[in-house]
């Protein structure tokens, strides 16, 4: 049932049909998401949503590869992208060595790299060496400590011009598509129109070429707060809490197991 996308078929979706991307961190949920997703992203957001950390910076190549292998196992044939973690592409040499590991050790199709024109040389180095790269511009979560918070981009003409420059530099470096995160809608739309590769938005409005959400946000498993750009498609946390409470109650009351669940 999974749509078997390639780098080429994703590129062709530009000006055709919006791209559906969602994060996945394990085999079980990957198998549930894959039939409806064009791309599964093993995001370093797992360090927050599943690792319980306050930012993504502690994710490592070993952690990302462990989760990517699980996702590929759960969704054979899906286009899986490994999100290169903080520090894994500090130089073109380090980046290529780590990206090679992704192809050697997992079935992922591509890697994602955060950054604009400052990463163009690195991304060219990867694409020249046969690595498929997804870019990521706008708000860059891996810069959170250096910038002192998460700040929406595209708020003035200079930022708009910089984003268009970033998108063009990444297109030239050979990315097959890019994420645009936390950007004012009208600006994100203009950035998408300035290049021929698809832009997949998160908090970037509805004028881009696709959407991505962190699945635990989209399905209501993260209850502490809801960023404006998240839509909740399920009250996941509530469902799990209710199920867990019922299980606990039945064990305590010796209602479970009963005859139908005993040998
Ligand atoms: O880590 C992640 O989940 C991401 C997406 C939000 C694009 O980078
Ligand atoms: Na990420």
pLDDT in tens, 235-248: 999 999 999 999 99
Domain count, the chain: 2
Ligand 1 neighbours (beta carbon < 6 A): 23, 41, 43-45, 83, 179, 202, 212, 214
Interface predicted TM-score (ipTM):
0.99
**Residue with CA closest to ligand 1 atom 4:** 43
Where in the sequence is the domain holding 254, given as residue range(s)?
Answer: 237-263
Residues 224 and 249 in one domain: no
User: What confidence tens digit (pLDDT) does each residue in 22-36 have?
Assistant: 999 999 999 999 999
Does the annotation place 44 within a ligand binding site?
Answer: yes
Residues 259 and 177 in one domain: no
Nearest ligand by distance to the CA of 21: 1
State the pTM of this model: 0.97
Residues 11, 198 contacting (CB under 8 angstroms): yes
Tell how far the Cα of 44 is from the centroid of ligand 2, in angstroms: 5
* Count of helices and strands (H, E) across the chain: 11, 8
| Residues involved in catalysis | 181
236: CB partners within 8 A, 6+ apart:
216, 219, 220, 221
Alpha carbon 254 to chain centroid distance? 43
User: What confidence tens digit (pLDDT) does each residue in 36-70 have?
Assistant: 999 999 999 999 999 999 999 999 999 999 999 99
For position 142, what pLDDT does the model report?
Answer: 98
For position 3, what pLDDT does the model report?
Answer: 62
Residues 263 and 191 in one domain: no
Angle between helices 185-193 and 157-173 (to 10 degrees): 40
Does the annotation place 45 within a ligand binding site?
Answer: yes
Residues 122 and 23 in one domain: yes
User: What confidence tens digit (pLDDT) does each residue in 11-20 have?
Assistant: 999 999 999 9
2 belongs to a structural domain: no
- Ligand 1 atom having least distance to the Cα of 181: 7
Q: In this prediction, what percent of the chain has a pLDDT beyond 70?
A: 99
**Does position 89 have pLDDT exceeding 60, yes or no?**
yes
């Amino acid at each position: 049932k999974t749509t078997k996308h390639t780098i080429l078929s994703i590129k062709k979706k530009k000006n055709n049909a919006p791209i559906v991307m969602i994060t996945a961190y394990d085999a079980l949920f990957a198998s549930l998401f894959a039939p409806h997703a064009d791309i599964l992203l093993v995001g370093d957001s797992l360090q927050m949503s599943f690792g319980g950390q306050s930012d993504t910076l502690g994710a490592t190549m070993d952690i990302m590869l462990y989760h990517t292998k699980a996702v590929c196992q759960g969704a054979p044939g899906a286009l899986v992208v490994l999100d290169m973690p903080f520090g894994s592409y500090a130089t073109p040499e380090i980046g290529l060595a780590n990206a090679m590991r992704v192809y050697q050790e997992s079935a992922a199709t591509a890697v994602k790299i955060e950054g604009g024109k400052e990463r163009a040389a690195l991304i060219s180095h990867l694409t020249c060496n046969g690595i498929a790269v997804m870019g990521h511009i706008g708000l860059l979560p891996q810069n959170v400590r250096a910038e002192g918070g998460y700040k929406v981009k595209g708020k003035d003409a200079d930022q708009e011009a910089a984003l268009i420059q970033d998108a063009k530099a990444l297109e030239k470096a050979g990315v097959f598509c890019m994420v645009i995160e936390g950007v004012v809608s009208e600006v994100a739309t203009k950035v998408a129109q300035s290049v021929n590769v698809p832009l997949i938005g998160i908090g970037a409005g509805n004028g881009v070429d696709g959407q991505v959400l962190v699945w635990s946000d989209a399905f209501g498993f993260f209850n502490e707060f809801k960023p404006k750009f998240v839509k909740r498609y399920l009250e996941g946390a509530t469902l799990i809490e209710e199920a867990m409470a019922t299980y606990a109650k039945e064990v305590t009351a010796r209602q479970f197991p009963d005859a139908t669940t005993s040998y």
